[in-house]
Amino acid sequence: MVSNEDKQVEQLEQMLQHIEDCMADELYDRAQDVLNTCLKLEVYDLRVYQRYAFVLRMLDRKQAAELFENVAMNPDDPDAYYKVAQALMHDNLFGSAINPLRKVVELVPMAANAVFELGYSFLKEFRMDDALVQFHNAYEYNPSPNTAFYVAYTSLLNHNVAAAKELFPYIEGEYAKNGEQPVMLNILKSMVERYEAFPPKDLRDWHFVQYGTPLLRTSEEDMGEPNENLNGRYVFINYGWLNVAQTIVTFKRMIEEVPGFPQYDYIIPASLDVAPIAFAFSELTGIPMGPREFLDTTQKGILFTAWSDEVRVVAEHISHNPNVTLFAFSMGWTLQAPVCPDVIGYLDQANRLPWQDTMVLDENGERTPRPAMTAPPEVIMHYILERVEAVDQAEVDKLIAYYTERAHLLKVGENSNNPRLGFQVESPIESIRMVV
């Protein structure tokens, strides 16, 4: 039987040949994508780092190229690999950071920082068992509230609540020694409380455990049946008008029927992309549109965002603002963000809203460009509102019942996280995804 390592060696050889072909055709962006995939493999090959350095030079990324060149020239220097790994992690390429971090740990087995970062990269790649091993090692080499938190957190994601709770006294004691508020511990205790009250089974359950906030729709609800590849998320999706209508109808009923949400004074869209949703929601609820200056007042408002990129833009302004409810129509589940929105419509990896330009596949698999709508958001909103009557209220009833039962633990309104938690990519629920 062929071992997993032998399979990966063969796979690596094929990818290296493909990289050579890409470089010969000057397809350097494509070559970089394949190199990132090479670095996700368990097997080490210095040629990957050499090719990466060349490709980055051709892309005129001098500083990044120098990091890989340093590895190529000093293949036994752990610091060279560590700097490459840090750069990859900075770009959210956690899977690609695994290979250089493995090399650091091979060269310096008790390098606590590298061991911790390796665990963190495994965590972001949904490799919970591998992550837990490395976090345990990091905690053994360098006990700290931070390493203990990640051992406990990953234990919780692995359904081992008892192991998570065992570390609470240590973390609490360390915070007390330094006279600090146990912020991380309180976050973890809240997660455990939600887990024990409502043991998680699916994507929405886990979202509630991790953040305590609502997730309005899943791909399974759209399709009417489970899909083990998607597990409630989407990869790329052209959302339809009904998707948008379902989301705003559900959100309307949630703020009206689920305890904890305040009375809202205004609505603000973060961009033109999301403006049709904000206008439609205003029309549906009677909550008026407001100027951006309202975000600096004590009035209660809803800030609408379309996706992760907009959430990152507004994060600094609203992270400590308890008067603003942050709504995201969807979030990229493979992209971290500084804050987790208070309410999320969908989780996807990329999308287009009905009024945005995109490519549409017909029944024969032919791609046809669909141009963006040029009408103002006040006009586009009517296309959304026309679909409101088609929303299945029985489905919405189930969701309202789900969150009403959990209302005492919901992190909304006066009970919101302040500051807001960051949006993380790790989850015990895996899904297929585009290679990044």
Q: Does pLDDT of 68 surpass 70?
A: yes
What percent of the chain shows pLDDT beyond 70?
99
Amino acid 435: pLDDT: 64
Span 252-301, pLDDT tens digits: 999 999 999 999 999 999 999 999 999 999 999 999 999 999 999 999 99
Distance of CA 273 to the CA centre of its chain: 20
The structure tokens listed for 419 are 């500051």
Catalogue all structural domains in the chain, each as residue range(s) with its CATH number. 4-191 (1.25.40.10), 202-415 (3.40.50)
pLDDT the model gives residue 360:
86
**Residue 80 phi, psi (nearest 5):** -65, -45
> Which pair of structure tokens corresponds to residue 328?
């995201």
- pLDDT at 436 exceeding the cut of 80: no
Give dist(CA 114, CA 100) in Å, integer. Answer: 10
> How far is the C-alpha of 119 from the C-alpha of 133, rounded, in Å?
7
- The Cα 332–Cα 270 span in angstroms is 17
- d(C-alpha 408, C-alpha 411), whole Å: 9
Q: Would you call 386 helix, strand, or coil by DSSP?
A: coil
Sorted by sequence, the CB contacts under 8 Å of residue 181 that are 6+ apart come out as 175
| pTM, 2 dp | 0.92
Q: What's the rounded mean pLDDT across residues 382-405? A: 98
Burial of 305 (0-12, 13-18, 19+ CB in 10 A): buried
Residue positions counted in the chain: 436
Question: d(Cα 96, Cα 52) in Å, to the nearest integer?
Answer: 12
Helix (H, G, I), strand (E, B) or coil at 34: helix
H helices present in 274-423, as ranges: 275-285, 308-318, 377-385, 393-405
Whether the Cβ atoms of residue 128 and residue 428 lie closer than 8 Å to each other: yes
What is the C-alpha separation between 212 and 42, in angstroms, rounded? 35
Given a cut of 80, whether residue 2 has pLDDT beyond it is no
**What pLDDT does residue 146 have?**
95
pLDDT digits (tens, 9 = 90+) for 305-315: 999 999 999 99
pLDDT confidence of residue 338: 95
DSSP H helices in 294-376: 308-318
